[in-house]
Amino acid sequence: MAHRDFLYSTCQRPAGIRSHNVTKPGDPMSNHPRLPDVVDGFGPLRPTALPAVAKTMRRGRELVLPDLDAAIRALGLKDGAVLSFHHHLRNGDAVLNAVVDAAARAGLRNLHIAASSIFPVHAPLVSHMESGVVTGLCTNYLSGPVAEAVSRGVLDRPVVLRTHGGRARAIRAGDLKIDAAFVAAPSADPMGNISGTEGPRACGVLGYPQCDVRFADKVVAVTDTLVDFPAQRIQIGQEHVDLVALVPSLGDVSGILSGTTRPSEKPADLEIARNAARVIEAAGLLVDGFSLQNGAGGASLATAAAVGRRMTDLGVTGSFASGGITGFHVDMLEAGLFRSLLDVQCFDLRAIESLRADPRHQSMSASMYANPHERGAVVDRLDAVVLGATEIDLDFNVNVTTRADGIIAGGSGGHADTAAGAKLAIVTTKLTAAGFPKLVERLGTLTTPGRSVDVVVTDAGIAVNPARADLADRLAFAGLAPVPIADLHRRALAQAERRPVHVREGDVVAVSEYRDGTVTDLIRRV
């Protein structure tokens, strides 16, 4: 019943509205004057009293606030609040900075930023850290000026670095309690229904905030494109959203998406790609139903391309490719190499177009993608994943978190998740980079445990984890002649011109969490 244009609330009846009869119209108790206090087998009961009920209703309330300052006020945040963000806008994101600026204007201090990733575009966060507005950070990936500042000790509390699946787990488990989740919404309606595919700064899938909005205390849709109710292609429904805050722009389109993403054509990349594809085939995985994940970089896509060529030759139809999805994956879908794409994040415009048009291209939440404690994760269905590495040690442990100088420049993202889930986790790498050896005796940081890494493919040979004797036999049989990883290590050291710096003592600036919440390593102040 009634509000707005014939507006009055059932609990606050304005003067001048008369009651036309004497039987207390609409009072349910006039029909049932006495309900008992307790019913056997049901227990104590509260009789319905409509005025009290009405106060609990939202009654079509639209809560669209004109800017983030108003949103921060409406949220009633306190010092020390945990604010969460997602990274589908990547290095084009203007939302995180704008929200923290507004929080700073509101005089908030000691905020904890829970972001799925931090990019160079988030550099303004450093001054908020220096001033004490932000004193806590957790993220799955950390690069650029914020990473450098953290490594130099800008925060007193250690940053927590998680995996994509570990973050979803931590939110679900209550390890990471979010006070306010800010969802960058390419379009939203006044009730808070959010679409990622519609709007001038569309980013496609919204896989990461799906977890935040279920468990956060408050949820804000931050949008530059307010559309009529109901939004089209709703990905996050209004039942999860408390209010909508308008901003002039979500960010820089060129940093959000590339037009399209293509495989590398560099000879060294192509050589590694061919070898990785041969390893997958030799492992016996290139049969119908094959599933693959690879990164979105040119070298990773070169491996996907090499695998795709073998699939075509062999007449193999894969089941799915997963992870961050590019136009190149769409090409593979449309060529019939895979039956489906499972997409947690679109990397280019072509991926978004495919998501909109092709039901075989399906979105997934971070939890469905990689949460180890949910009822099923897509990473656990992977046949092969092709991963990169900053450093690999002789036990196949991998560092993708810190650079050779000890400064943070990454983090697991989905690295440790996919390695743990896939039947065959391949790390591809050159022997050296920027003069540093990639194969090392001791890692700067242990990100992904070696037990989950099966093969290292380099430009100078292939090494199989000794725990995978079966796989070593298969590769040898296929003529791939795997070598001990110690051989690759020796050759890397011989090629390298310098040695990494390892900081083993001093203040802990970051804790590297494994997907289950245990700790793989500590990162020290540089």
Binding test (CB under 8 A) with its own copies, winner from 268, 314, 469, 494: 469
- Among 383, 404, 376, 254, residue whose Cα is nearest residue 322: 383
Residues of this chain, 368-427, that bind its own copies according to CB under 8 A:
368, 371-378, 380-382, 393-397, 419-425
Instruction: Please tell me whether residue 142 adopts helix, strand or coil conformation.
Output: strand
Asked if 488 interacts with its own copies (CB under 8 A), we say: no
For residue 512, the minimal CB distance to its own copies (Å) is 9
Both tokens of residue 376? 């099923």
- Return the amino acid letter for 189: D
Angle between helices 298-314 and 267-282 (to 10 degrees): 50
Query: x/- string (CB under 8 A) for its own copies, residues 223-242?
Result: -----xxx-xxx--xxxxxx
Helix (H) or strand (E) holding 166: helix 164-173
Binding test (CB under 8 A) with its own copies, winner from 14, 15, 31, 315: 31
Contacts 24+ apart (CB under 8 A), 332-339: 332/304, 332/308, 333/358, 333/360, 333/361, 334/358, 335/308, 337/308, 337/311, 337/312, 338/291, 338/292
Contacts with its own copies: how many residues (CB under 8 A)?
129
For residue 156, the minimal CB distance to its own copies (Å) is 6
Asked if 152 interacts with its own copies (CB under 8 A), we say: no
Binding test (CB under 8 A) with its own copies, winner from 182, 347, 436, 514: 514
Instruction: Please tell me whether residue 428 adopts helix, strand or coil conformation.
Output: strand
Asked if 153 interacts with its own copies (CB under 8 A), we say: no
Give residue 407's Cα distance to chain centre.
22
Asked if 315 interacts with its own copies (CB under 8 A), we say: no
Nearer to its own copies, 102 or 419 (CB): 419
Residues of this chain, 39-98, that bind its own copies according to CB under 8 A:
39-42, 45-54, 56-61
Nearer to its own copies, 120 or 230 (CB): 230
- Return the amino acid letter for 157: R
> Do residues 150 and 141 touch, judged by C-beta distance below 8 A?
no
Asked if 6 interacts with its own copies (CB under 8 A), we say: yes
DSSP 131: T
DSSP 269: H
Asked if 110 interacts with its own copies (CB under 8 A), we say: no
For residue 251, the minimal CB distance to its own copies (Å) is 25
Considering only the stretches 79-87, 258-266, 344-352, 358-366, report the one whose residues sit in contact with its own copies under the rule CB under 8 A: 358-366
For residue 504, the minimal CB distance to its own copies (Å) is 10
Question: 520: Cβ–Cβ under 8 A, 6 or more apart, which residues?
Answer: 416, 445, 446, 447, 448, 449, 512, 513, 514
Binding test (CB under 8 A) with its own copies, winner from 12, 15, 17, 477: 17
Asked if 280 interacts with its own copies (CB under 8 A), we say: no
For residue 191, the minimal CB distance to its own copies (Å) is 5
Residues of this chain, 159-218, that bind its own copies according to CB under 8 A:
160, 191-192, 214
| 74: number of Cβ within 10 Å | 15
Question: 254: Cβ–Cβ under 8 A, 6 or more apart, which residues?
Answer: 92
Binding test (CB under 8 A) with its own copies, winner from 180, 245, 279, 364: 364
Asked if 219 interacts with its own copies (CB under 8 A), we say: yes
For residue 11, the minimal CB distance to its own copies (Å) is 10
Q: By CB neighbour count within 10 A (0-12 exposed, 13-18 middle, 19+ buried), where does 25 fall?
A: exposed
Considering only the stretches 1-9, 111-119, 262-270, 487-495, report the one whose residues sit in contact with its own copies under the rule CB under 8 A: 1-9
Adjacent-strand bridge partners of 115: 85
Residues of this chain, 437-466, that bind its own copies according to CB under 8 A:
442-443, 446, 449-454, 465-466
- Return the amino acid letter for 484: P
Asked if 511 interacts with its own copies (CB under 8 A), we say: yes
Asked if 494 interacts with its own copies (CB under 8 A), we say: no
